[in-house]
Amino acid sequence: MAATTALWLLLIVLLLLFGRGRDARDIARFIPDCLVLCKRLVHDERVPRRAKLALALLIPYLAMPFDLVPDFIPVAGQLDDAILIAAAIAYVARSAGREVVEDLWPGSERGLRVLLAFA
């Protein structure tokens, strides 16, 4: 988790240094926006129970100190987590409908496009 946070912060700082403040702001908000989205999806009645279960099982996996690919391996360690998040949100979008994800997304339109592209 610390390695992921460090890489995320490094990316934000690099974007700020290169004068890309809007990109830095979008990236800084993306992870918190995804967390808010997952919370909203779990509590929304339009989302089927099995999709809620997929999201609920994702949280303990992300919090576990061991993964399929350990987090201390740069990039690859975080990539498996990102793939699982995208797969879970894609499953919710297929089960409940893409419009539910769009309705509950708290972030920018640009962030939503990125999320749906990965999902």
In a domain, 61, yes or no: yes
Number of domains in the chain: 1
pLDDT for the residue numbered 1 = 56
| Tens digit of pLDDT at every position of the chain (119 positions) | 566 667 767 777 877 788 877 777 777 777 788 888 989 999 999 999 999 999 998 878 877 777 777 766 766 666 777 778 888 988 999 999 999 999 999 988 888 888 888 77
DSSP the chain: -HHHHHHHHHHHHHHHHTT-HHHHHHHHHHHHHHHHHHHHHHH-TTS-HHHHHHHHHHHHHHHSS--SS-TTSTTHHHHHHHHHHHHHHHHHHHHH-HHHHHHH--S-HHHHHHHHHH-
Residue 111: give the domain boundaries. 31-118
In a domain, 26, yes or no: no
In a domain, 41, yes or no: yes
In a domain, 56, yes or no: yes
In a domain, 69, yes or no: yes
Task: Give the global pTM.
Answer: 0.72
